[in-house]
Amino acid sequence: MSEAAKWALVTGATGGLGREMARQLAAKGWSLVLHGRNADALMALAGETAREGAIVRTATADLATTDGPATLVAEVDALGIEVELLVNNAGLGYTAQFVESDLDRQRKLVQLDVMTPLELCHAFGSRMAARGHGQIMNVASVAGVLPGPGMSTYFASKAFVLSLSEALHEELSPRGVQVMALCPGPVNTRFWEVAENGATRAQALFLTTEEVCRIALVSLARGRAACAPGLLSKVCYGFGRVAPYAVSRKVAAVLTGKRG
């Protein structure tokens, strides 16, 4: 199969890491299925990546609904496309004290950040394993190695994605399928605005989307189970892996600025 004939499905492609990942994949010769809910932004990105020479298709399933992942799989199947690389990027953040938070918004976060990658990994991962090749990149976070007071559900969702990804890495590597969790620290995207978390104090330490995606694609090609791009991400990731939870949850509370 030629590189140009390989299809990558990128969820949440209209902004942030998803948008940049689509650009870099297009530059590397991948054909793209771009997913997003904003039709105008999706078509603009499709036009931009097509000008790079990529073959581009679009999908608009609402992954924050319970039938969204199945709808996306059906849309891809209707296009007659065999997904060689799945980038589970779509996600939602939410900053709030848990007991005072909007429960519907918490459910939406769990659907998008937990159930969607689980269902898409199952749907496309089973096909990759059957044919003996494929790649899956699940966008987790350094939040996945910490408890997150003030962003409790978001941090827990990323812990799920990280654990799932590392387990699937072990299960599927012998079957020719590479699975990696991407665990960035803070990145310059609209995530912080949507999550309602004022993170401007540390903005100078944030990586760019270009840096994160470049490092992520190199790490995926090298068969890594997890990738924490950049010095700040590596420090946070390493700290979260070795620190007692009694310590890490207090540090995380300071970082999120949301102690009780």
150: left (phi over 0), alpha (psi -120 to 50) or beta: left
Q: How high is the pLDDT of residue 1?
A: 38
Look at 54-63, 154-163, 198-207 and tell me which has the smallest mean pLDDT.
198-207
Tokens 């420090």 belong to 235
Sheet strand arrangement including 7-10: 56-59, 31-35, 7-10, 83-88, 134-139, 177-182, 226-227
Distance CA 100, CA 216 (A): 36
CA dist 34 and 162 (Å) reads 23
* Domain tally, the chain: 1
- Hey, what's the torsion of the CAs at 139, 144, 149, 153, to 10 degrees? 60
Query: pLDDT digits over 31-56, tens only?
Result: 999 999 999 999 999 999 999 899 99
Q: What residues form DSSP beta bridges with 31?
A: 7
- Residue with the bigger pLDDT between 5 and 223: it is 223
Which residues are part of the catalytic machinery?
154, 158
In one-letter notation, the amino acid at residue 81 is: I
6/139 Cα distance (integer angstroms): 21
Domain that residue 202 falls in = 3-256
Q: Which residues neighbour 249 within 8 Å (Cβ) at sequence distance 6 or greater?
A: 146, 147, 148, 149
| CATH code of the domain containing 18 | 3.40.50.720
C-beta neighbour count of 38 within 10 angstroms:
13
Rounded to the nearest 10 degrees, how much is the dihedral formed by the CA atoms of 155, 159, 161, 164?
-170
pTM equals: 0.88
pLDDT in tens, 157-201: 999 999 999 999 999 999 999 999 999 987 765 544 444 555 544
DSSP symbols for 98-151: GGGS-HHHHHHHHIIIIIHHHHHHHHHHHHHHHHT-EEEEEE--GGGGS--TTS
Question: What's the chain's average pLDDT?
Answer: 89
pLDDT at site 258: 56
Nearest CA among 175, 174, 143 for reference residue 158: 143
